[in-house]
Structure 1
Amino acid sequence: MLTSRIVVDRDFVISELDRRVFGTFVEHMGRCVYGGIYEPGHATANKDGFRQDVLELTRELGPTIVRYPGGNFLSGYNWEDGVGPKDKRPTRLDLAWGSTETNEFGTNEFITWCRTAKVEPMFAVNLGTRGPDEARHLLEYCNHPGGTYYSDLRREHGYEKPHGIKFWCLGNEMDGPWQICQKTAREYGRVAKETAKVMRWVDGDLQLAACGSSQRAMPTYASWEYEVLDHCFNDVDFISLHAYFRNDSNDVKEFFTVIEDLDSFIKEVASIADAVAAKRRSPKRIMLSLDEWNVWYKAHSPSDLRKPGWPKAPPLIEEIYNFEDALVVGGALITMINNADRVKAACIAQLVNVIGPIMTETGGAAWRQTIFHPFAQASRHAHGQVLRTKVQSETFSTKTHPNASLLLSSVIHDEATGTVTILALNRSTTDEMQLDVELRGLGEGRKVALASELHHADLKAINSKAAPNAVAPKERTDVSIDKGVVSAKLKPLSWNVIVTTPA
C-alpha cells in the first residue's frame, strides 16, 4: 500500500478562498441557453421560461458567479438586440458558431435567471466589433439608477432597480484568429485601457478583467500578457486565463499531468503580471480569473463546432464526460484552491449541454454529468482559509512529467465554524493509499462529520438519461481521527472529501 502524509498548521495560510472560484459560464452557443437554462415550452418551465429542473441542478452544483454572454459569441454581439419587447428584437446571424440567434433571451432575462438561481452575474463587453462607447452604454443601462437615456430605457423595459453588476470582462480571447475582429496585444491593450477608463467613470465600484492568452500554447503567450498589462495595468483588476484539458493519448497518467500544466500556467501568468508591476515599482497585484476551464477533447470535430444551414440552437460540443474526466476536474479544482492567493475567480465552461456538468434533453430530462460531482462537493464544503500543505507522497513519471505526486490535496479551514475540509485525489492507477493528515493548532477534540469518495472500476463510465447515477459519490464510514490526525485509505483513482468539525 502507498503511504502519504499531509501536515498543516492553522497559522500557515495561503489565502482566504474567494468563493468566486466556483463560477460557471453561460454563452449563446448550442443548447446552453435555448433548451438548456431557458425553454418556455418545457414541462418544468416557470413563468419566465426557465427550466426548473436545470435551476434545481444548478443550485445543487453550487456556482457562485456566472459569466455571460460569451465566449466567441460576444465579439459579434450587439447588446441592444437582447433587450426590450421580445416581438421587436431582431434575429441575427451568429458568425462565431454559424447559428441563427433569435435574441429571445438577453441581458434582463439573464439577470432574472441569476436572481432566481441566487448567483452573481459576471458580464462581458464586446471589444471585437464594438468598443468603449457601447460598453459604457451597456453599463449605464445595467447599473445607473435612472434619469438618463439608457437607465430610463431599462426602467421602461420593466426593471426599475439597477442590476448592480460588479464584475466585467473586457472582451474575450482577443488574441485568437478565430475571434471576430482579432487584435494585436497593442491594439487590445489600448482599447481595454480606454474601455476600463470610461466604464469606471460611469460606475466607480467595478472589478474589471483584461483578456489574457486564449491558451498557454498560443504563439504569443506571455508576450501578450506583458504587453496588454503594460497598457492597462492601472485600469484593471484581473487578467484572464483559459484552459481546456485533453486526453489525446488515451493515457490516464499523461492526462493527469494537465493539472501540473495548469499549476505552471497560473504561476507563470502571476509572475508576468508581477513583472509589469515591478517595472512600475507598484505594490498593486493583478489577480487571475480562470474564466473558462474544463475537460474538452471528444466533441472537438468541425461538425461539433458548427452545423450547416444557420440552425437555431443546434447541439454543439456536447461532451459526454466519463469517470476519468471527473478526476481531472477534481484535480484542477485542487490546483485552483491551492493558488488562492492569486486565483480569485474561475468559471467552468459551460453550465449546461455545451461542455457542461449538467446535460438536458430538449423537452425532456436533465441529469448530472460525472464532472458535476467534484465541483458540487468542492463548492459546498470549501469555505474559509486555504492552508499551506506539507505533502509527503510517492510519485509517478510520464513522458512529459518525470516527478508528479500521486497525491493531490487541499486543506481549507473555516474559522467561523471550525470546519476543516480535506480534498484528496489519489492518482495511482493500481494502489490503495494510506493517507494521514496532521491538523496542527486546530484542536485535538475533533470528529469526522462527513467522508465520501468518487470511484468507479471503469475509467470510461458515464452518466446518462438511462443511468444518471452510474458515477456518483458514496459516503464512507471508515475514516478516523485521533489526536488531531485524520486517517483514511484512498482507493486507486479516487476523489475524496473529508470534513471534520469540533467535537
Structure 2
Amino acid sequence: MAEQQSNTASDSSRLIVDDAFEVAPVNDRLFGSFVEHLGRCVYDGIYEPSHPEADEDGFRKDVIELVRELGATTIRYPGGNFVSGYRWEDGVGPKESRPRRLDLAWHSTETNQFGLHEMSQWLDKVGGNELMEAVNLGTRGLEEALDLLEYANVPSGTKLSDERRANGKENPFGIKMWCLGNEMDGPWQTGHKSAEDYGTLAASVAAGMRMIDPDVELVVCGSSSHMMDTFGKWEETVLEKAYDSVDFISCHAYYHPEFQADGTRDMASFLASGVDMDGFIKDVAAAIDATKARLKSDHNVFISFDEWNVWYIDEEPSKNPEGIGNWPVAPRLLEDSYTAADAVVFGDLMITLLKNADRVHAASLAQLVNVIAPIMTEPGGPAWRQTTFYPFSMTARYAKNGTVLEPKLTSNTYATAKYGEVPVVNSVAVRGADGSVTIFVVNRSLELSNDFEIQVPDDGNFTEATAQTLHEEDLLARNTLENQDRVILHTNDSVTFSADDAIVHVTLPPVSWTAVHVR
C-alpha cells in the first residue's frame, strides 16, 4: 500500500494466539442491527414503494442486497425511543385503515404503512435474520405487552391470534427475543421511570409474558450510557427486582470526537473509545455477578449491547424538527456521514464486543439504513456503503460461528485526555469453524505505523496469510452520493507468513483497521 510506504516512523506490537485459552464461542447475535421508525430508516430506506428497485411489497431490492452483504443477523425493532409511544395495533391490518400518529420521540408523523407484518416479510426476503421485538413500557404496560405476544406467537384459537391470521400471517411470528421497553433510565424517554418503578414493571411484564410463552428471551433495560448519573445504582436496583425473570440486561453507547478548548477535536481520545466500551461491559458484568451472588441464584443473565455506534449526537444532522405545526413524515434525521477515522473507531468497538463474547451474547448496531447507518440511500436513487460498512461486514464474515481466543497482546501506550494511558493497538483473534484464524486489529496512533507480529498456533495446518486494511491519509475522507467508493478496504501487501515458526508480520498504518486471515 502506498500509504504505508510513506510512513517511515514506526512502532511495534505483538499478539500471541493460543488455542488453549478460549474466551467463548461467538454468538451470531453479536452481529445484530437496529431498525427504528426514525427519520428515513424505514421510509425511503428499506421501504420505498415508488422506487425503481422496489419489489411487489415496496421493499428496495438494492438495500436488501447490501444488508445481505453486511451480514447483519438479529434486527431490533421498532425502537428505540420511538417504541415508548408506539401502539403496535396501528401497524397491522389493511394499510388504508391504519391511522397516522404523532411520534413524540422524533417530532415526526408516523404513517404506520410499515409495521410488524412488513418487518417480518422484509426479514424473510433478506434471509437468515431474527426479529428482536421491543414492547412499549413508556406509555403502556403489561396488558399491551401480553396482547402483542398473543398476536405474534400464539398459533390460533384466540381473538388476537386469529386477527393475525386474518391479516395474512397464518403461522405465528415465533419471536424469541423481546426488549422490555427502551432506555427507561433516560429523562428524554416518554414515560421515563425511576429504577424502582421500572424494575417492578419489568418483572411483572416478564412474568406475564412467560405465562403465554415460557421460551421467550427477555432483555431488561440497563443504563443508556456509561456516563449516566444513575449508572450502577440503576443496574443494581433493576436486577434486584427482575433478575430471575430476564435473560439479558442492555447497554447503550455512542461515541464521537469531542471538541477541545482550542476548537479542534480530541482525536486521540476518540480513537480510544473502545476503552470506555470495555469498561462499561466489565462494570455491568460485575453488577450481574453481584446480584446473582446476593440472590443466591443459579440463573445466568448476559449483556445485550443493543445500541452502539459512532454518533455525532449534538450536531446538526441530529436536531429534531420543532414547532406545533411541524411534524414531517420521514425527515432526514441523524444522517451522519462517516469518515475513515470513524470507521477505525467502529472497528475497534467491534473488536471490544468480541473480546467480551463471554458476557455479551447479543449486540445491535444502531442503526441499519440512513440513520447513523452503514447503508445510505437516496429517494428514487442509489444505495451505497458508508465507511463503517467494511469493518462490520468483514468481521461478520470471518467471526460468525467462531470462537474468541484470549488475547495475549503486548503494545506500547499513548496518552489521552479522557482515558489516560491506553494501548496503541487493540486486537482480538477468532478461530473459525473451518480451522482458520482471523485477527482483527486497530492501530490507534495518529502518527506512527506499527509492525504487528502475530504468533499463531503452530499446528502445521497454516499455509498462508492475507490482510485487508482500512486506512486513509485523509482521516476525514468519506463515501458520499457523489463519490460512493472513496473509502474502501485495500489488500495489505505488507503481510508475510513464516510457516516454519508460524509467525505473521503485517504493517499497520496510523489510524487503521485491519483483518488478517490465516488459513
Q: TM-score, normalized by length of structure 2? A: 0.94
Match of 1:97 among 91, 98, 106: 106
Q: Determine whether 1:154 maps to 2:164.
A: yes
Q: Determine whether 1:223 maps to 2:233.
A: yes
Q: Determine whether 1:59 maps to 2:71.
A: no
Match of 1:16 among 13, 25, 34: 25
Post-superposition CA distance 1:96-136 (Å, at most 9, x none): 11111110000000011111112111100000111111111
Q: Which amino acid aligns with 1:281?
A: K
Q: Corresponding residue for 2:386?
A: 369
Q: Determine whether 1:355 maps to 2:365.
A: no
Task: Write the distance in 2 (CA, Å) between the matches of 1:75 and 1:389.
Answer: 40
How far has the Cα of 1:398 moved from its partner?
1.4
Post-superposition CA distance 1:309-347 (Å, at most 9, x none): 111111111111111110110000000100000011111
- Post-superposition, which runs of at least 4 consecutive aligned residues in structure 1 deviate over 6 A? none
How far has the Cα of 1:363 moved from its partner?
1.4
Post-superposition CA distance 1:144-177 (Å, at most 9, x none): 1111111111110111111111111000011111
Match of 2:308 among 280, 289, 293: 293
Task: Write the distance in 2 (CA, Å) between the matches of 1:478 and 1:7.
Answer: 19
Q: Corresponding residue for 1:72?
A: 81
Task: Write the distance in 2 (CA, Å) between the matches of 1:421 and 1:400.
Answer: 31
Q: Corresponding residue for 1:428?
A: 445
Q: Corresponding residue for 1:142?
A: 152
Q: Which amino acid aligns with 2:103?
A: D
Q: Which amino acid aligns with 1:463?
A: N
**Do 1:215 and 1:242's aligned partners in 2 also have CA atoms closer than 8 Å?**
yes
How far has the Cα of 1:435 moved from its partner?
1.0
Task: Write the distance in 2 (CA, Å) between the matches of 1:455 and 1:343.
Answer: 28
Task: Write the distance in 1 (CA, Å) between the matches of 2:454 and 2:312.
Answer: 35
Q: Corresponding residue for 1:411?
A: 429
Q: Corresponding residue for 2:6?
A: none
Task: Write the distance in 2 (CA, Å) between the matches of 1:444 and 1:408.
Answer: 27
Post-superposition CA distance 1:429-451 (Å, at most 9, x none): 1112111111235x133133542
Q: Corresponding residue for 2:43?
A: 34
Report the 3-state secondary structure (helix = DSSP H, G, I; strand = E; otherwise coil) of the residue aligned with 1:346.
strand
Match of 2:356 among 339, 352, 365: 339
Deviates more, 1:112-121 or 1:32-41: 112-121
Q: Which amino acid aligns with 2:200?
A: R
Cα distance, 1:321–1:181 mapped onto 2, change above 3 Å: same
Q: Which amino acid aligns with 2:485?
A: N
Q: Corresponding residue for 1:457?
A: 473
Task: Write the distance in 2 (CA, Å) between the matches of 1:440 and 1:55.
Answer: 38
Report the 3-state secondary structure (helix = DSSP H, G, I; strand = E; otherwise coil) of the residue aligned with 2:420.
coil
Name structure 1 gaps, 5 residues minimum: none
**Do 2:304 and 2:360's aligned partners in 1 also have CA atoms closer than 8 Å?**
yes
How far has the Cα of 1:39 moved from its partner?
0.3
Q: Which amino acid aligns with 1:50?
A: F
Q: Determine whether 1:175 maps to 2:185.
A: yes
**Do 1:298 and 1:319's aligned partners in 2 also have CA atoms closer than 8 Å?**
no
**Do 2:37 and 2:79's aligned partners in 1 also have CA atoms closer than 8 Å?**
yes
Report the 3-state secondary structure (helix = DSSP H, G, I; strand = E; otherwise coil) of the residue aligned with 1:191.
helix
Deviates more, 1:94-103 or 1:290-299: 290-299
Q: Corresponding residue for 2:504?
A: 486
Deviates more, 1:395-404 or 1:225-234: 395-404
Task: Write the distance in 1 (CA, Å) between the matches of 2:479 and 2:313.
Answer: 16
Match of 1:469 among 485, 491, 494: 485
Task: Write the distance in 1 (CA, Å) between the matches of 2:296 and 2:474.
Answer: 53
Post-superposition CA distance 1:208-240 (Å, at most 9, x none): 000001111111111001100100001000000
Post-superposition CA distance 1:466-488 (Å, at most 9, x none): 11111100123432222321111
Match of 2:124 among 115, 121, 124: 115
**Do 2:340 and 2:472's aligned partners in 1 also have CA atoms closer than 8 Å?**
yes
Deviates more, 1:69-78 or 1:136-145: 136-145
Match of 2:295 among 258, 280, 294: 280
Q: Corresponding residue for 2:242?
A: 232
**Do 1:299 and 1:317's aligned partners in 2 also have CA atoms closer than 8 Å?**
no
Report the 3-state secondary structure (helix = DSSP H, G, I; strand = E; otherwise coil) of the residue aligned with 2:463.
strand
**Do 2:479 and 2:487's aligned partners in 1 also have CA atoms closer than 8 Å?**
yes
**Identity of matched residues, %:** 48
Cα distance, 1:303–1:10 mapped onto 2, change above 3 Å: closer
* Cα RMSD after superposing both structures: 1.3
Cα distance, 1:303–1:433 mapped onto 2, change above 3 Å: closer
The 5 A counterparts of 1:198-213 are 198-213=208-223
**Do 2:14 and 2:411's aligned partners in 1 also have CA atoms closer than 8 Å?**
yes
Q: Corresponding residue for 2:7?
A: none
How far has the Cα of 1:298 moved from its partner?
6.1
How far has the Cα of 1:251 moved from its partner?
2.2
Report the 3-state secondary structure (helix = DSSP H, G, I; strand = E; otherwise coil) of the residue aligned with 1:48.
coil
Task: Write the distance in 1 (CA, Å) between the matches of 2:313 and 2:338.
Answer: 9
Q: Corresponding residue for 1:269?
A: 284
Q: Which amino acid aligns with 1:496?
A: T
Q: TM-score, normalized by length of structure 1? A: 0.97
Cα distance, 1:287–1:298 mapped onto 2, change above 3 Å: closer
How many residues matched?
Answer: 499
How far has the Cα of 1:362 moved from its partner?
1.2
**Do 1:299 and 1:318's aligned partners in 2 also have CA atoms closer than 8 Å?**
no
